[in-house]
A and B are shown apart, each in its own frame.
Chain A
Amino acid sequence: MKNQLIKNSLEENNFSSSTHAIEVISFDSKQGVSKEYLVPQRYYKDQLVLLPINSKRFYMYWEFTPSLLEKYALEYANQIKFKVVDSDTITIKYIDCLGEIGEYFVNDLEYTTKIRVIAGFYKDGVFVEIMYSNKIGAFNTHINYKDEDKLVYLKKEKGFTEIIRSSLQHFTIGMSSVSYVKEIERLQEVSKLSKETLSSHTLGEK
């Protein structure tokens, strides 16, 4: 167990907070804690909260009070549906409500704009909205620049791509020359950089 923890901590390209000192310091921590502390099971208020995790995953929790259900003449909370909507309020996913209190991890949903969740129910084929969540922003996972700044980036030519490559060495695209080249090709397409200044040979250099 101990060896594995340290080994995991020192895995190649894993030099971040997963190697946090506390992990090392506390791995032999005494596990027995005698007193049992009680935490509230519910807060008796209507709430629907989203929390971002990464570019393809987010978390939501909710609580619906009996008075809210009564207000909309809903017999059960599972009559409620959740709609995930983007910044243009286009629905990108439906989720079932599992009860008055619940939580849900939404996986494999790549969101590129701010999103929110709307709780509601269908009545006569119409979605009746009863509550909005907070909005969460998208994670940017691409190199990007504004069109009006294009010239500034173009002037740097190889300098820019070399510096970005160096900056990202340990992370996502930096770990794979294939994905790095793809990303640069995307840039080339946008900026119409010439093949001469950005050949795949140059990009493949270490």
Chain B
Amino acid sequence: MLKGYWIPVLHSHLPFVKHPDYEYFLEEHWLFEAISECYIPLLKNLKRLHDEGVDFRLTVSVTPPLAEMLDDKHLMEKYERYLDRQIELGNKECQRTQNDEVYEGIAHFYNKKFIEIKEFFMNFLQKNVLNGYRFFNDLGKIEVITCGATHGFLPLLSVNEKAVEVQIEVAVASHTKHFKKPPKGIWLPECAYYDGLDKILKENGIEFFFVDSHSLVYGEPTALNGVYAPIYTEHAVAAFARDPHSAKQVWSSKEGYPGDVNYRDFYRDIGYDLEYEYIKDFIDPDGTRVFTGFKYHKITGETDYKEVYNPQVASDITKSHAADFHHKREEQFEHLGQYMKRTPMVVSPYDAELFGHWWFEGPDFLYNLFKEISNKHTFKAVTPLEYLTMYPQNQVINPSASSWGDEGYYDVWLNEGNSWIYRHLHNMTDDIINLANTYANGADFNTTRLLNQMTKELLLAQSSDWAFLVTTKTAVEYSEQRTKEHISNFQSLKNMINNDIDFDLLEELEYKNSIFNFLDYRVFSS
């Protein structure tokens, strides 16, 4: 008899970054690293499971900016060249470490890894990473869901509800464009909920979303089954809440799996370790040392002393960690089953980019976990819709306002460091609504171009990533500049309406900030 249902969720997101004016731009490498270390390893392992006849279910959010980048010809051509450079570096490393009994093996490991990634990218994925998600989505093995159009922090945009409506409406349109059918579910940006958001979700055909634990426990009224069953909101959208126990198993510094001393160390990278003359062609052209992805050491311990990484040992440990995770879920389901009149459900959401990038062995852990689930049959991985089909009747509550940020509310995205952003976002929204209403019946060709590009600049400025990175004091200058750039672009374009048009600037922005080619400014009209 099944003891429980497990709903694993991976939230895949990167902000829209495209710099066609540079062959090498570090922030574009966020995407290339994520593809090589996270998305392709995950898809490769899902394919292995599929080929081996192992049943699995996974809910994956692919945010609209990520989907747009993964579908962007310019970026994918750059990614192919990035892979070629990685393979070239791999070959060079194999030569350098020839007859070196300590490093030769690990150099060959990386060389083989990048060759296999390229092969998977060129053949199974046909140079488009979204093809992998589409393949498993169509099979019903994964449920791809959407997110806010540009990952805007919806509670802080809701001063003008139209801003939230557009974030959702454009997200649904983007998902439909990329996956040929509208999404049933959404990962709310930063898991952030506010009272009334469910109505907008319902109007856009969304059937379920996710919240953090306290959103249901502090709901009105408190959820009878805590986070172990979904609830319906007043507008009949289902909310699933994060289970703290399974989250902790991955994130906790004391108990978390990624900290195992045999797993790969994130920091030791030949981009920093080797002589400049040797490595200069594979780091930033301006000479700044960066990560290359060739990391030869294991965590080893808390000191700077690091031993050489052994992929086989690490791979074996992912099996024992998968078994441990499985065992703890069994115990959890047994415990919860005593108190519930239905089979308990546990939702485990994680950032997809942490499986493979920070936790190099994360994709193998998931592979082994799905095999463990398939072999033991004590609980089952399901998607939210499968669960709702089994249990269509659920308590109706009003979830409390919340996010999954530090302290559980909105502090991360609104504080002394980033508060200046919101005044501009709100005023830009007012402006585009006024213009969309003024030109509700259409505008001439060039004014339409200006209005459409203004809409894109506003949406890009709304991304929660910039406020987040300012708070965490990482890439602060880039994040502030990105926000200012979109605000400035918006104002420049606005000033061109009914005035002289700077066609060079307009064309440059249309090419660079080319997100959402279907976008019509009238999405903002009343």
**Interface residue from B245, B351, B491 paired with A40 (Cβ < 8 Å):** B491
Write the chain B residue with the least CB distance to A152.
B224
Contact A25 B221 (CB under 8 A): no
Is the C-beta of A126 less than 8 angstroms from some C-beta in chain B? Answer: no
Contact between chains at A139 and B414 (CB < 8 Å): no
Stretch with Cβ within 8 A of A (4 or more), from B72-80, B353-361, B374-382, B500-508: B353-361
* Cβ contact within 8 Å between A54 and B218: no
Q: Across the interface, which residues of A come within 8 angstroms of B221, CB to CB?
A: 144-146, 149
B393 on interface, CB distance cutoff 8 Å: no
The contact of B424 among A39, A103, A137, by CB within 8 Å, is: A39
- Interchain CA distance A166-B468 in the complex, whole Å: 29
Given A18-B406, A140-B219, A171-B408, residue A166 in contact with residue B422 (CB < 8 A): no
Closest A residue to B267 by beta carbon equals A2
CA distance A51 to B402 in the complex (A): 14
- Do B220 and A144 touch across chains, with their CB atoms under 8 A apart? yes
A45 to B431 alpha-carbon distance, docked (Å): 12
Q: How many pairs of residues, A versus B, come closer than 8 Å at their CB atoms?
A: 258
Which of chain A's residues 121-178 have a Cβ closer than 8 Å to chain B? 134, 137, 139-146, 149, 152-153, 156, 158-160, 162-164, 166-172, 174
Nearest-neighbour CB distance to chain B for A171, whole angstroms, equals 5
- In B409-439, which residues have CB < 8 Å from any A CB? 409-412, 414-416, 419-420, 422-424, 426-427
B472 in contact with A23 (CB, 8 Å): yes
Complexed CA–CA distance, A192 and B298 (Å): 56
Tell me the B247-297 residues at the A interface (CB within 8 Å). 247-248, 250-254, 256, 258-259, 266-267, 284, 286, 288, 290-291
> Within 8 Å CB of A92, what residues of B?
none
Of the stretches A3-11, A71-79, A82-90, A193-201, the one at the interface is: A3-11
Residues of B within 8 A of A144 (CB): 218, 220-222
Selected from B218, B227, B256, B416, the residue in CB contact (under 8 A) with A141 is B218
Which B-chain residue is minimally distant from A43 (CB atoms)? B427
A163 to B336, Cβ gap below 8 A?
yes
B218 touches A22 (CB 8 A): no
Contact A61 B475 (CB under 8 A): no
Asked if B511 is at the interface of the complex by the 8 Å CB criterion, the answer is no
Cβ < 8 Å to B, chain A residues 5-64:
5-7, 10-33, 35, 37-40, 43, 45, 47, 49, 51-55, 57, 59, 61
Name the A residues within 8 Å of B252 (CB-CB).
10, 12-13, 15
> Nearest Cβ distance between residue A6 and chain B, in whole angstroms?
7
Q: Is the CB–CB distance between A51 and B422 below 8 Å?
A: yes
Task: Give chain B interface residues in 335-375, CB to chain A under 8 Å.
Answer: 335-336, 338-340, 351-354, 357-358
Q: Is B474 a contact of A23 with CB atoms below 8 Å?
A: yes
Is A105 part of the binding interface, using a Cβ–Cβ cutoff of 8 Å? yes
Q: Which of B244, B357, B410, B468 contacts A25 (CB 8 A)?
A: B357
Complex-state Cα separation, A15 to B404, whole angstroms: 9
- Interface size of B by CB at 8 A reads 101
> B474 touches which one: A26, A49, A51, A152 (CB < 8 A)?
A26
Q: Mark B178-210, 1 if CB is under 8 A from A, else 0.
A: 000000000000110011000000000000000
B214 located at the interface, meaning its Cβ lies under 8 Å from any Cβ of chain A in the complex: yes
Contact B27 A54 (CB under 8 A): no
Query: A167 and B27: CB pair below 8 A?
Result: no
**Selected contact of A21 from candidates B253, B357, B416, B487, CB within 8 Å:** B357
Among B141-149, B444-452, B478-486, the one that faces the other chain is B478-486
Question: Contact at A139–B251, with CB atoms within 8 Å?
Answer: no
CB atoms of A17 and B155 under 8 A apart: no
> Known contacts being A17-B405, A20-B468, A28-B291, is A169 close to B488, with CB within 8 Å?
no
Q: Across the two chains, which residue of chain B brings its CB closest to A153?
A: B224
Q: Cβ of B354 and Cβ of A143 under 8 Å apart? A: no
Determine if B253 and A10 form an interchain contact, defined as CB atoms under 8 angstroms apart.
Answer: yes
Decide yes or no whether B477 CB sits under 8 A from chain A: yes
* CB neighbours of A31 from chain B (8 A): 475-478
A149 to B219, CA, bound (A): 14
Q: Which residues on A sit within 8 Å (CB–CB) of B195? A: 137
Task: Please name all residues of chain A whose beta carbon is closer than 8 Å to the beta carbon of B220 when the two chains form the complex.
Answer: 140, 144
- A19 smallest CB distance to B (angstroms): 6
Interface residues of A (CB under 8 A from B): 2-3, 5-7, 10-33, 35, 37-40, 43, 45, 47, 49, 51-55, 57, 59, 61, 103, 105, 134, 137, 139-146, 149, 152-153, 156, 158-160, 162-164, 166-172, 174
Sampled A-B contacts (20; CB under 8 Å): A10-B251, A14-B251, A19-B354, A21-B34, A23-B474, A26-B27, A40-B424, A52-B401, A53-B414, A54-B407, A57-B411, A59-B414, A103-B419, A149-B221, A152-B224, A156-B339, A164-B222, A168-B217, A171-B213, A172-B408
12 further A-B pairs in the complex, CB-CB below 8 A; given A18-B405, A54-B411: A21-B358, A25-B357, A28-B26, A28-B290, A52-B410, A103-B419, A103-B423, A140-B400, A153-B224, A164-B222, A167-B216, A171-B408
- The 4 A-B residue pairs with the shortest CB-CB distance in the complex, in nearest-first order: A15-B251, A21-B353, A167-B226, A159-B339
